[in-house]
Chain A
Amino acid sequence: MSDEMREALEIVSMRILEEAAFFFSDPMNDPSKRPDASWNPQGVELTWSGEVSEGAIRVWSDPGLLVALAANMLGVEEDDPHARSQRIDALGEVLNMVLGNCLTEAWGPGPVFKLGIPHQADPRDYPLDAETGFWLVAEGLPMMFWVGGRR
């Protein structure tokens, strides 16, 4: 993970969760608090490319967070069927906002980047990279952002 994007992620991700989904989160600084290997998160991946950098970003979320995330973004109750049906889409849009804002935070407003379309990531297809990800706690449950790429 490039230092620029890692630093940007730490600044941007919690702000976006708060502004887009009214989720208040904190960094999970103690590695012993991370979930164990049995954790089965839901994830979304998004790629970007541009003159100054290219790469991919993923978010892994505890499944228990996602209905509330979608409900908050949609402004509906958690038992609204739309909250359940849109939970992955909502996570993808959070990632989209995090990436768009991270790129500006890391590289300034000048460079132009092309972003991909968020798509669901299966945890069986990707290493979780728990050591290099940015872990946080939102609403008492774990979430992890991972970004990789090159300058």
Chain B
Amino acid sequence: MGYTVLLVDDSETIRGALLKAFQMAKLPMEEVFQAGDGREALDTLKSVWVDMVLTDINMPNMGGVELLAAMKADPSLREIPVAVISTEGSSTRIESLREAGISGYLRKPCRPEEIRDLLHKVLGEWK
């Protein structure tokens, strides 16, 4: 038993690095699903339940802002916490993401312990 998470990033390297960070932080992961953009993420969420979505902002086809809006507009998805992991450094943009309902934000590059703390904050520490 552990966390079930959907990683959304167009970079396979970043998704792989996050998987490695989960291991390094000794996070109890039940399952990690992956999507390359917001559209793939929404398709994935039609068939699986996740505890949390970790998404990039800047992606082809559908970015993280549009994904967040689509999830908040869908009654079956709106309660799933969404956290953003991005290179974005604009406080204006980050504040607008918070107003739109994100549960957390990390700036790339981020350390495994920062990712662990984010998951603990959003989902609670797995005992």
Contact = CB atoms under 8 A, between A and B. Distances in A.
- Do A and B associate with each other? yes
Given A74-B17, A112-B93, A113-B90, A100 B12 contact: no
Interface in B13-68: 13-14, 16-17, 20, 23-24, 58-60
Given A20-B109, A92-B11, A117-B60, A74 B16 contact: yes
Nearest to A114: B58
A147 to B, nearest CB: 15
A75 interface: yes
Contacts of A70: 13
A128 interface: no
Interface in A87-117: 89-90, 92-93, 96-97, 99-101, 103-104, 109-113, 115, 117
Describe A's contact surface by its main secondary structure. Answer: helix
A93 B13 CA distance: 8
B4 interface: no
Residue with the highest number of chain B CB atoms closer than 10 Å, among A16, A93, A111 = A93
Query: What range describes how many residues of B lie at the interface?
Result: 20 to 34
A48 to B, nearest CB: 10
Query: What range describes how many residues of A lie at the interface?
Result: 20 to 34
A79 interface: no
Given A75-B24, A117-B60, A90 B13 contact: yes
B90 A99 contact: no
Contacts of B10: 117
A113 B90 CA distance: 8
A96 B87 contact: yes
A78 to B, nearest CB: 14
Contacts of A117: 10, 58-60
B118 to A, nearest CB: 17
Contacts of A96: 11, 58, 87, 108
B20 A97 contact: no
The 4 tightest CB contacts between A and B, nearest first, are A100-B87, A104-B89, A75-B20, A20-B109
7 contacts: A16-B109, A73-B16, A73-B17, A97-B87, A100-B89, A101-B87, A109-B91
